[in-house]
Amino acid sequence: MADVKKPKILGILCNWCSYAGADLAGSARTQYPPDVRVVRVMCTGRVDPLFIMKAFTDGADGVLVSGCHFGDCHYLEGNYKSAKRMFLMKSLLKGIGMEDKRLRMTFVSASEGAKWAKVIEDVVNTINELGPSPLKEMTK
């Protein structure tokens, strides 16, 4: 068994809402679990399904994609398109026998620092409950 206490979780954040919200949690010194590593993109619309699959085949235990609330996207509708793709990816994960909860999409605005901390706690708890990714075991 891999070390369950240290899950590997990738967070892909949009620049305008969720990344700013995460920064706000920092300025407010809101403490949250340290298990998510962040890659910044301009918009969640940029999140290629390839990135998700790459992360899981590389051994990620979970992937968090976080963008603006619907109607708030800096690029009008990138988050809608991303959300659609994430639904598709979730069913794909199920199709290959993985728990679709390992992929999560959330919507955190630039003013929701406290919510960001809650989201991270929630994601980390979920992944800890699920344990290491089965894909990780297979690719070993």
37 binds another protein (CB under 8 A): yes
Q: What is the distance between the alpha carbons of residues 126 and 94, in angstroms, rounded to a whole number? A: 16
Using CB under 8 A as the binding rule, the residues of this chain from 106 to 125 that contact another protein are: 109-112, 117
The region of 14-22, 92-100, 123-131 touching another protein under the rule CB under 8 A is 14-22
86: how many CB neighbours lie within 10 A of its CB?
A: 20
Say how many residues touch another protein, by CB under 8 A: 51
Burial class (CB in 10 A: 0-12, 13-18, 19+), 111: exposed
The region of 21-29, 86-94, 97-105, 121-129 touching another protein under the rule CB under 8 A is 21-29
| DSSP H or E segment with residue 84 | helix 78-95
The region of 68-76, 90-98, 100-108, 122-130 touching another protein under the rule CB under 8 A is 68-76
47 binds another protein (CB under 8 A): yes
Which of 120, 9, 116 lies closest to 69 in space, CA to CA? 116
Burial class (CB in 10 A: 0-12, 13-18, 19+), 67: buried
Which one of residues 2, 38, 98, 130 is an interface residue with another protein (CB under 8 A)? 38
Region of residue 132 (phi > 0: left; psi between -120 and 50: alpha; otherwise: beta) = beta
List contacts with another protein (CB under 8 A).
Answer: 8, 10, 15-17, 19-20, 22-23, 25-27, 29-32, 34, 37-43, 45-51, 54-55, 58-60, 71-72, 74-78, 81-82, 85, 109-112, 117
